Amino acid sequence: MSINHQLDFALRVCESVAFFLHGILGITEPLTGCLRNVFQENGTMPRWFWPVAGCILWLVSYLNFCGNDDIILANQFYIMAFHIGGVLYHRKLSHHPASGVGPGMFVLLGFIVASMRTSMLFLLSGLCVCTFIAMGLSNLLIKVPSDRESSQLYSSASHTL
Report angle CA 64, 65, 70 to the nearest 5 degrees. 65
Mean pLDDT, all residues of the chain: 87
On whether the CB atoms of residues 69 and 9 are closer than 8 A, the answer is no
Number of Cβ within 10 Å of residue 31's Cβ equals 8
On whether the CB atoms of residues 110 and 83 are closer than 8 A, the answer is yes
Report angle CA 96, 42, 51 to the nearest 5 degrees. 95
Reported as a single tens digit per residue, the pLDDT across 6-55 is: 999 999 999 999 999 999 999 999 999 888 888 887 778 888 999 999 99
Question: Cα separation of 154 and 132, whole Å?
Answer: 32
Domain count, the chain: 1
Domain housing 49: 3-160
